[in-house]
Structure 1
Amino acid sequence: MLPIILVSKRKKDADDFLQKFIKENRIAKESIYTIFPLKKEILISQVREIKKELAIAVPFSRLFIFYAFDSATSEAQNALLKSLEESTVKNQFVLVTENEHSVLPTLNSRAKIIRLKDKNRLDVKFDVLNTNLLENIVRSTNYLFLSDKQLTGMQKDDAKSFIEMVIKYYRLKLANDPVFTKIIKKALYFRTLLESNNLNPQLTCDNLLIFINKAFKMKE
Protein backbone atom coordinates (compact mmCIF):
# COMPACT_ATOMS: atom_id res chain seq x y z
CA MET A 1 0.00 0.00 0.00
CA LEU A 2 1.11 3.54 -0.70
CA PRO A 3 2.12 5.26 2.57
CA ILE A 4 0.07 8.27 3.65
CA ILE A 5 1.41 11.58 4.94
CA LEU A 6 -1.49 13.02 6.92
CA VAL A 7 -1.12 16.78 7.40
CA SER A 8 -3.20 18.07 10.30
CA LYS A 9 -2.89 20.88 12.84
CA ARG A 10 -5.10 19.07 15.35
CA LYS A 11 -4.61 15.56 16.68
CA LYS A 12 -8.39 15.18 17.00
CA ASP A 13 -8.87 15.79 13.27
CA ALA A 14 -6.17 13.23 12.49
CA ASP A 15 -7.75 10.71 14.89
CA ASP A 16 -11.18 11.20 13.28
CA PHE A 17 -9.68 10.53 9.86
CA LEU A 18 -7.84 7.45 11.13
CA GLN A 19 -10.93 5.99 12.79
CA LYS A 20 -12.80 6.25 9.51
CA PHE A 21 -9.83 4.81 7.61
CA ILE A 22 -9.56 1.86 10.01
CA LYS A 23 -13.28 1.14 9.72
CA GLU A 24 -13.32 1.35 5.92
CA ASN A 25 -10.29 -0.93 5.59
CA ARG A 26 -11.47 -3.32 8.32
CA ILE A 27 -8.19 -3.25 10.20
CA ALA A 28 -8.31 -5.17 13.48
CA LYS A 29 -7.46 -3.31 16.67
CA GLU A 30 -4.62 -5.71 17.51
CA SER A 31 -3.06 -5.00 14.10
CA ILE A 32 -2.64 -1.27 14.75
CA TYR A 33 0.73 0.04 15.93
CA THR A 34 1.01 3.63 17.18
CA ILE A 35 4.37 5.35 17.51
CA PHE A 36 4.79 8.59 19.46
CA PRO A 37 7.92 10.72 19.95
CA LEU A 38 10.31 9.77 22.74
CA LYS A 39 11.92 12.79 24.42
CA LYS A 40 10.26 15.05 21.81
CA GLU A 41 11.65 13.07 18.84
CA ILE A 42 10.86 9.93 16.90
CA LEU A 43 14.13 8.01 17.06
CA ILE A 44 15.80 5.48 14.80
CA SER A 45 15.49 2.92 17.62
CA GLN A 46 11.70 3.13 17.30
CA VAL A 47 11.89 2.50 13.56
CA ARG A 48 14.12 -0.52 14.22
CA GLU A 49 11.44 -1.96 16.50
CA ILE A 50 8.92 -1.58 13.67
CA LYS A 51 11.34 -3.36 11.34
CA LYS A 52 11.28 -6.35 13.68
CA GLU A 53 7.50 -6.48 13.34
CA LEU A 54 7.73 -6.20 9.56
CA ALA A 55 10.10 -9.16 9.48
CA ILE A 56 7.24 -11.33 10.73
CA ALA A 57 5.03 -12.37 7.82
CA VAL A 58 1.30 -12.22 8.61
CA PRO A 59 -1.81 -13.02 6.54
CA PHE A 60 -3.67 -9.88 7.62
CA SER A 61 -3.30 -6.12 7.16
CA ARG A 62 -1.31 -4.04 9.65
CA LEU A 63 -1.45 -0.30 10.21
CA PHE A 64 1.55 1.66 11.52
CA ILE A 65 0.73 5.19 12.68
CA PHE A 66 3.53 7.65 13.42
CA TYR A 67 2.26 10.66 15.35
CA ALA A 68 4.14 13.99 15.22
CA PHE A 69 6.29 12.64 12.42
CA ASP A 70 7.71 16.13 11.85
CA SER A 71 9.70 15.44 15.05
CA ALA A 72 11.42 12.40 13.51
CA THR A 73 15.18 12.61 13.19
CA SER A 74 16.68 12.40 9.70
CA GLU A 75 18.19 9.03 10.66
CA ALA A 76 14.76 7.72 11.66
CA GLN A 77 13.19 9.00 8.44
CA ASN A 78 15.88 7.42 6.28
CA ALA A 79 15.53 4.12 8.13
CA LEU A 80 11.77 4.21 7.65
CA LEU A 81 12.24 4.93 3.95
CA LYS A 82 14.03 1.61 3.53
CA SER A 83 11.18 -0.16 5.34
CA LEU A 84 8.61 1.46 3.07
CA GLU A 85 10.52 0.32 -0.01
CA GLU A 86 10.69 -3.25 1.30
CA SER A 87 7.15 -3.31 2.66
CA THR A 88 4.36 -5.55 1.34
CA VAL A 89 0.84 -4.55 0.31
CA LYS A 90 -0.48 -5.71 3.69
CA ASN A 91 1.40 -3.02 5.62
CA GLN A 92 -0.07 0.48 5.67
CA PHE A 93 1.91 3.42 7.04
CA VAL A 94 0.38 6.75 8.09
CA LEU A 95 2.73 9.58 9.02
CA VAL A 96 0.85 12.29 10.91
CA THR A 97 2.51 15.69 10.72
CA GLU A 98 1.71 19.38 11.16
CA ASN A 99 4.33 20.39 8.61
CA GLU A 100 4.76 18.23 5.52
CA HIS A 101 7.94 20.14 4.60
CA SER A 102 9.70 18.65 7.62
CA VAL A 103 9.38 15.23 5.99
CA LEU A 104 12.27 14.21 3.76
CA PRO A 105 11.59 14.79 0.03
CA THR A 106 12.41 11.13 -0.65
CA LEU A 107 9.56 10.13 1.69
CA ASN A 108 7.21 12.78 0.32
CA SER A 109 7.72 11.54 -3.22
CA ARG A 110 6.76 7.99 -2.25
CA ALA A 111 3.64 8.86 -0.28
CA LYS A 112 0.10 10.02 -0.79
CA ILE A 113 -0.31 13.41 0.91
CA ILE A 114 -3.66 14.15 2.54
CA ARG A 115 -4.14 17.64 3.96
CA LEU A 116 -6.94 17.96 6.50
CA LYS A 117 -8.69 21.30 6.78
CA ASP A 118 -9.00 22.51 10.35
CA LYS A 119 -12.78 22.94 10.25
CA ASN A 120 -13.21 23.03 14.02
CA ARG A 121 -10.63 25.73 14.70
CA LEU A 122 -12.08 28.69 16.54
CA ASP A 123 -12.08 31.93 14.60
CA VAL A 124 -10.61 34.10 17.36
CA LYS A 125 -10.38 37.67 16.10
CA PHE A 126 -10.02 41.14 17.54
CA ASP A 127 -13.70 42.00 17.19
CA VAL A 128 -16.67 43.37 19.07
CA LEU A 129 -17.54 40.01 20.66
CA ASN A 130 -14.09 39.59 22.19
CA THR A 131 -14.02 43.23 23.28
CA ASN A 132 -17.33 42.74 25.09
CA LEU A 133 -16.01 39.56 26.67
CA LEU A 134 -12.99 41.35 28.15
CA GLU A 135 -15.18 44.18 29.42
CA ASN A 136 -17.52 41.66 31.07
CA ILE A 137 -14.56 39.99 32.79
CA VAL A 138 -13.61 43.30 34.38
CA ARG A 139 -17.13 43.75 35.80
CA SER A 140 -17.66 40.11 36.80
CA THR A 141 -17.96 39.22 40.50
CA ASN A 142 -17.50 35.49 39.81
CA TYR A 143 -15.85 33.25 37.23
CA LEU A 144 -18.91 32.49 35.11
CA PHE A 145 -17.17 34.16 32.16
CA LEU A 146 -14.98 31.03 31.88
CA SER A 147 -17.99 29.16 30.48
CA ASP A 148 -18.36 31.64 27.60
CA LYS A 149 -18.63 29.71 24.33
CA GLN A 150 -15.76 31.76 22.86
CA LEU A 151 -13.44 30.22 25.45
CA THR A 152 -14.40 26.56 25.20
CA GLY A 153 -12.60 23.90 23.17
CA MET A 154 -9.45 25.93 22.61
CA GLN A 155 -6.47 24.32 20.91
CA LYS A 156 -2.93 25.70 21.04
CA ASP A 157 -3.29 27.94 17.97
CA ASP A 158 -6.62 29.25 19.26
CA ALA A 159 -5.10 30.08 22.64
CA LYS A 160 -2.14 31.88 21.04
CA SER A 161 -4.50 33.94 18.88
CA PHE A 162 -6.67 34.78 21.87
CA ILE A 163 -3.68 35.88 23.97
CA GLU A 164 -2.49 38.05 21.06
CA MET A 165 -5.93 39.64 20.99
CA VAL A 166 -5.73 40.37 24.75
CA ILE A 167 -2.30 41.99 24.31
CA LYS A 168 -3.53 44.13 21.43
CA TYR A 169 -6.68 45.17 23.30
CA TYR A 170 -4.82 46.40 26.39
CA ARG A 171 -2.00 48.02 24.43
CA LEU A 172 -4.60 50.29 22.85
CA LYS A 173 -5.71 51.29 26.36
CA LEU A 174 -2.22 51.48 27.87
CA ALA A 175 -2.30 55.22 28.55
CA ASN A 176 -5.57 54.99 30.47
CA ASP A 177 -4.58 52.80 33.42
CA PRO A 178 -1.27 51.43 34.82
CA VAL A 179 -2.95 48.08 35.57
CA PHE A 180 -2.98 47.42 31.82
CA THR A 181 0.83 47.17 31.89
CA LYS A 182 0.60 44.31 34.41
CA ILE A 183 -1.97 42.53 32.25
CA ILE A 184 0.16 42.84 29.12
CA LYS A 185 3.21 41.49 30.96
CA LYS A 186 1.19 38.55 32.27
CA ALA A 187 -0.24 37.86 28.80
CA LEU A 188 3.28 37.88 27.30
CA TYR A 189 4.39 35.51 30.06
CA PHE A 190 1.55 33.06 29.33
CA ARG A 191 2.22 33.29 25.60
CA THR A 192 5.87 32.34 26.17
CA LEU A 193 4.87 29.42 28.40
CA LEU A 194 2.37 28.20 25.83
CA GLU A 195 4.95 28.29 23.03
CA SER A 196 7.79 26.65 24.96
CA ASN A 197 5.93 24.14 27.15
CA ASN A 198 3.29 21.48 26.75
CA LEU A 199 0.62 23.48 28.62
CA ASN A 200 -3.11 22.94 28.37
CA PRO A 201 -4.26 25.77 26.03
CA GLN A 202 -7.68 26.05 27.66
CA LEU A 203 -6.29 26.32 31.20
CA THR A 204 -3.66 28.83 30.06
CA CYS A 205 -6.34 31.21 28.76
CA ASP A 206 -8.54 30.61 31.81
CA ASN A 207 -5.66 31.52 34.14
CA LEU A 208 -4.92 34.68 32.17
CA LEU A 209 -8.55 35.82 32.35
CA ILE A 210 -8.74 35.06 36.08
CA PHE A 211 -5.62 37.22 36.52
CA ILE A 212 -7.29 40.07 34.61
CA ASN A 213 -10.40 39.78 36.77
CA LYS A 214 -8.35 39.83 39.99
CA ALA A 215 -6.18 42.72 38.78
CA PHE A 216 -9.23 44.97 38.47
CA LYS A 217 -10.72 43.77 41.76
CA MET A 218 -7.51 44.78 43.56
CA LYS A 219 -7.96 48.32 42.25
CA GLU A 220 -11.33 48.69 43.94
Structure 2
Amino acid sequence: MQTFIISSKNLSEGREVIEKILIQEKIDKFDIEVLEFEKDLGIEDVRNIQKKIYLKPFQGDRKASVWILSSKATNDAQNALLKLLEEPPPSCLIYILATDIGFFLPTILSRAKIIEIKDDLETNLDNLEQILEIKGAGDALFLAQVISKEKSEAIAWLEKAILGARTKMIESIEDKNEAIKFRKLIHKLELTHYDLKNTNANQRLALENLFLNLEYN
Protein backbone atom coordinates (compact mmCIF):
# COMPACT_ATOMS: atom_id res chain seq x y z
CA MET A 1 0.00 0.00 0.00
CA GLN A 2 1.49 3.32 -1.12
CA THR A 3 -1.36 5.66 -0.22
CA PHE A 4 -2.24 6.65 3.34
CA ILE A 5 -5.19 8.76 4.49
CA ILE A 6 -4.59 10.30 7.90
CA SER A 7 -7.62 11.59 9.78
CA SER A 8 -6.94 14.11 12.55
CA LYS A 9 -9.15 16.88 13.91
CA ASN A 10 -5.94 18.75 14.67
CA LEU A 11 -3.99 19.18 11.43
CA SER A 12 -0.83 20.14 13.33
CA GLU A 13 -0.86 16.80 15.15
CA GLY A 14 -1.49 15.08 11.84
CA ARG A 15 1.55 16.80 10.34
CA GLU A 16 3.70 15.61 13.24
CA VAL A 17 2.57 12.03 12.71
CA ILE A 18 3.40 12.23 9.00
CA GLU A 19 6.82 13.71 9.78
CA LYS A 20 7.57 10.79 12.11
CA ILE A 21 6.43 8.29 9.48
CA LEU A 22 8.66 9.90 6.84
CA ILE A 23 11.64 9.73 9.19
CA GLN A 24 10.96 6.03 9.72
CA GLU A 25 10.64 5.56 5.96
CA LYS A 26 13.98 7.38 5.55
CA ILE A 27 12.63 9.79 2.94
CA ASP A 28 15.11 12.61 2.28
CA LYS A 29 13.74 16.06 3.11
CA PHE A 30 14.44 17.17 -0.47
CA ASP A 31 12.17 14.37 -1.70
CA ILE A 32 9.16 15.46 0.35
CA GLU A 33 6.59 17.66 -1.37
CA VAL A 34 3.85 19.20 0.78
CA LEU A 35 0.77 20.55 -1.00
CA GLU A 36 -1.75 22.51 1.06
CA PHE A 37 -5.34 23.06 -0.04
CA GLU A 38 -7.37 25.57 1.97
CA LYS A 39 -10.44 25.20 -0.26
CA ASP A 40 -12.06 22.03 -1.59
CA LEU A 41 -9.65 19.93 -3.64
CA GLY A 42 -10.86 20.26 -7.22
CA ILE A 43 -10.13 18.95 -10.71
CA GLU A 44 -7.50 21.61 -11.42
CA ASP A 45 -5.70 20.70 -8.20
CA VAL A 46 -5.65 17.05 -9.26
CA ARG A 47 -4.11 18.01 -12.61
CA ASN A 48 -1.34 19.91 -10.83
CA ILE A 49 -0.72 16.92 -8.55
CA GLN A 50 -0.48 14.60 -11.55
CA LYS A 51 2.10 16.86 -13.22
CA LYS A 52 4.39 16.80 -10.19
CA ILE A 53 3.94 13.34 -8.77
CA TYR A 54 5.56 11.50 -11.67
CA LEU A 55 8.83 13.44 -11.34
CA LYS A 56 11.73 11.35 -10.07
CA PRO A 57 13.11 11.79 -6.52
CA PHE A 58 15.95 14.32 -6.17
CA GLN A 59 18.13 12.58 -3.58
CA GLY A 60 16.97 9.08 -2.69
CA ASP A 61 15.19 6.16 -4.29
CA ARG A 62 11.77 7.23 -3.04
CA LYS A 63 9.82 10.40 -2.47
CA ALA A 64 6.65 11.45 -0.64
CA SER A 65 3.75 13.60 -1.75
CA VAL A 66 1.83 15.04 1.21
CA TRP A 67 -1.57 16.64 0.67
CA ILE A 68 -3.04 18.77 3.48
CA LEU A 69 -6.80 19.16 3.02
CA SER A 70 -8.14 21.96 5.21
CA SER A 71 -11.59 21.45 3.69
CA LYS A 72 -12.56 18.41 1.60
CA ALA A 73 -12.31 17.05 -1.95
CA THR A 74 -15.06 17.24 -4.54
CA ASN A 75 -16.45 13.99 -5.93
CA ASP A 76 -15.17 14.92 -9.40
CA ALA A 77 -11.67 15.42 -8.02
CA GLN A 78 -11.80 12.09 -6.20
CA ASN A 79 -12.94 10.27 -9.32
CA ALA A 80 -10.05 11.88 -11.19
CA LEU A 81 -7.65 10.54 -8.54
CA LEU A 82 -8.79 6.93 -8.76
CA LYS A 83 -6.32 5.79 -11.40
CA LEU A 84 -3.42 7.58 -9.70
CA LEU A 85 -4.19 6.00 -6.33
CA GLU A 86 -4.71 2.59 -7.90
CA GLU A 87 -1.39 2.74 -9.75
CA PRO A 88 0.79 5.37 -8.05
CA PRO A 89 4.39 5.91 -9.21
CA PRO A 90 6.46 3.03 -7.76
CA SER A 91 8.87 5.46 -6.10
CA CYS A 92 6.23 7.66 -4.45
CA LEU A 93 4.38 7.40 -1.15
CA ILE A 94 1.19 9.46 -0.90
CA TYR A 95 -0.08 10.90 2.39
CA ILE A 96 -3.46 12.64 2.49
CA LEU A 97 -4.20 14.52 5.71
CA ALA A 98 -7.79 15.56 6.44
CA THR A 99 -9.81 16.50 9.50
CA ASP A 100 -12.46 13.94 8.57
CA ILE A 101 -12.68 10.95 6.23
CA GLY A 102 -16.46 11.05 5.91
CA PHE A 103 -16.39 12.91 2.59
CA PHE A 104 -14.11 10.40 0.86
CA LEU A 105 -15.73 8.08 -1.66
CA PRO A 106 -15.58 4.34 -0.81
CA THR A 107 -13.51 3.80 -3.95
CA ILE A 108 -10.88 6.19 -2.58
CA LEU A 109 -10.86 4.65 0.89
CA SER A 110 -10.45 1.17 -0.57
CA ARG A 111 -7.21 2.26 -2.25
CA ALA A 112 -5.58 3.61 0.90
CA LYS A 113 -4.56 2.62 4.39
CA ILE A 114 -6.57 4.64 6.92
CA ILE A 115 -4.84 6.08 9.99
CA GLU A 116 -7.12 7.77 12.51
CA ILE A 117 -5.49 10.03 15.09
CA LYS A 118 -7.65 10.48 18.16
CA ASP A 119 -7.11 13.11 20.81
CA ASP A 120 -6.71 12.15 24.48
CA LEU A 121 -10.36 12.78 25.33
CA GLU A 122 -11.59 10.55 22.50
CA THR A 123 -9.26 7.75 23.60
CA ASN A 124 -10.37 8.08 27.23
CA LEU A 125 -14.03 7.91 26.26
CA ASP A 126 -13.40 4.99 23.89
CA ASN A 127 -11.91 2.95 26.75
CA LEU A 128 -14.83 3.86 29.00
CA GLU A 129 -17.32 2.93 26.26
CA GLN A 130 -15.80 -0.55 26.01
CA ILE A 131 -16.52 -1.02 29.71
CA LEU A 132 -20.07 0.30 29.45
CA GLU A 133 -20.77 -2.08 26.56
CA ILE A 134 -20.09 -5.18 28.69
CA LYS A 135 -23.34 -7.16 28.71
CA GLY A 136 -22.27 -10.44 30.23
CA ALA A 137 -19.45 -12.76 31.26
CA GLY A 138 -18.37 -13.35 27.67
CA ASP A 139 -17.87 -9.64 27.01
CA ALA A 140 -16.08 -9.19 30.34
CA LEU A 141 -13.63 -12.04 29.78
CA PHE A 142 -12.93 -11.02 26.19
CA LEU A 143 -12.14 -7.39 27.10
CA ALA A 144 -9.88 -8.54 29.94
CA GLN A 145 -8.02 -10.82 27.53
CA VAL A 146 -7.55 -8.06 24.94
CA ILE A 147 -6.06 -5.45 27.26
CA SER A 148 -4.08 -7.67 29.65
CA LYS A 149 -1.23 -8.80 27.39
CA GLU A 150 1.22 -6.37 29.01
CA LYS A 151 0.85 -5.08 32.56
CA SER A 152 2.08 -1.58 31.68
CA GLU A 153 -0.44 -1.34 28.84
CA ALA A 154 -3.26 -2.53 31.10
CA ILE A 155 -2.36 0.15 33.65
CA ALA A 156 -2.30 2.85 30.96
CA TRP A 157 -5.63 1.60 29.59
CA LEU A 158 -7.23 1.85 33.03
CA GLU A 159 -5.84 5.36 33.55
CA LYS A 160 -7.53 6.53 30.37
CA ALA A 161 -10.79 4.79 31.29
CA ILE A 162 -10.72 6.54 34.68
CA LEU A 163 -10.24 9.93 33.01
CA GLY A 164 -13.11 9.15 30.65
CA ALA A 165 -15.36 8.19 33.57
CA ARG A 166 -14.46 11.42 35.39
CA THR A 167 -15.41 13.40 32.30
CA LYS A 168 -18.77 11.63 32.14
CA MET A 169 -19.37 12.15 35.86
CA ILE A 170 -18.83 15.89 35.46
CA GLU A 171 -21.16 15.97 32.45
CA SER A 172 -23.81 14.11 34.50
CA ILE A 173 -23.57 16.41 37.51
CA GLU A 174 -27.22 17.51 37.14
CA ASP A 175 -28.38 13.88 37.14
CA LYS A 176 -27.53 12.79 40.68
CA ASN A 177 -28.14 9.07 40.13
CA GLU A 178 -26.04 8.97 36.98
CA ALA A 179 -23.22 10.90 38.64
CA ILE A 180 -23.24 8.46 41.58
CA LYS A 181 -23.01 5.49 39.19
CA PHE A 182 -19.94 6.97 37.52
CA ARG A 183 -18.38 7.76 40.89
CA LYS A 184 -18.78 4.12 41.96
CA LEU A 185 -17.34 2.96 38.65
CA ILE A 186 -14.34 5.27 39.08
CA HIS A 187 -13.74 3.84 42.57
CA LYS A 188 -13.64 0.27 41.23
CA LEU A 189 -11.36 1.23 38.36
CA GLU A 190 -9.01 3.04 40.73
CA LEU A 191 -8.81 0.04 43.08
CA THR A 192 -7.82 -2.28 40.23
CA HIS A 193 -5.39 0.32 38.90
CA TYR A 194 -3.76 0.57 42.34
CA ASP A 195 -3.42 -3.22 42.64
CA LEU A 196 -1.81 -3.56 39.22
CA LYS A 197 0.57 -0.68 39.81
CA ASN A 198 1.62 -1.50 43.37
CA THR A 199 1.30 -5.27 43.83
CA ASN A 200 2.19 -8.47 42.00
CA ALA A 201 -1.44 -9.01 41.00
CA ASN A 202 -1.93 -10.87 37.72
CA GLN A 203 -3.32 -8.30 35.28
CA ARG A 204 -5.68 -10.65 33.49
CA LEU A 205 -7.21 -12.06 36.68
CA ALA A 206 -7.54 -8.56 38.16
CA LEU A 207 -9.28 -7.25 35.05
CA GLU A 208 -11.55 -10.28 34.80
CA ASN A 209 -12.59 -9.77 38.42
CA LEU A 210 -13.19 -6.07 37.76
CA PHE A 211 -15.28 -6.51 34.63
CA LEU A 212 -17.27 -9.49 35.93
CA ASN A 213 -18.32 -7.55 39.02
CA LEU A 214 -19.26 -4.25 37.44
CA GLU A 215 -22.77 -3.08 38.24
CA TYR A 216 -22.90 0.11 36.24
CA ASN A 217 -25.93 -0.73 34.10
**Scaled by the length of structure 2, what TM-score is found?**
0.50
2:101 is matched with 100
SS at match of 1:23: helix
Report deviation, 1:80: 1.7
* d(CA) in 2 for partners of 1:63, 1:96: 13
Report deviation, 1:120: 7.7
1:174 is matched with none
* d(CA) in 2 for partners of 1:42, 1:99: 14
The residue identity in structure 2 corresponding to 1:13 is E
SS at match of 1:65: strand
Report deviation, 1:114: 0.7
5+ residue gaps, structure 2, are 125-217
1:33 is matched with 33
The residue identity in structure 2 corresponding to 1:52 is K
1:5 is matched with 5
1:39-62 deviation per Cα after TM superposition (whole angstroms, max 9, x unaligned): x22122122112112333456212
**Scaled by the length of structure 1, what TM-score is found?**
0.50
Q: Which runs of 4+ in 1 moved over 4 A?
A: none
1:114-136 deviation per Cα after TM superposition (whole angstroms, max 9, x unaligned): 11111389x9xxxxxxxxxxxxx
2:75 is matched with 74
* d(CA) in 2 for partners of 1:81, 1:21: 24
Report deviation, 1:90: 1.6
Alignment of 1:78-93 (within 5 A): 78-93=79-94
1:155 is matched with none
Superposition RMSD on alpha carbons, in Å?
2.4
Given that 2:4 and 2:96 are in contact with CA atoms closer than 8 Å, whether structure 1 keeps it comes out as yes
Count of matched residue positions in the alignment of Structure 1 and Structure 2: 122
- Residue 111 of structure 1 pairs with residue 149 of structure 2: no
The residue identity in structure 2 corresponding to 1:108 is L
Given that 1:61 and 1:90 are in contact with CA atoms closer than 8 Å, whether structure 2 keeps it comes out as yes
Report deviation, 1:91: 1.0
Given that 1:5 and 1:95 are in contact with CA atoms closer than 8 Å, whether structure 2 keeps it comes out as yes
- Percent identity of the aligned residues? 31
1:76–1:66 Cα change, 3 Å: same
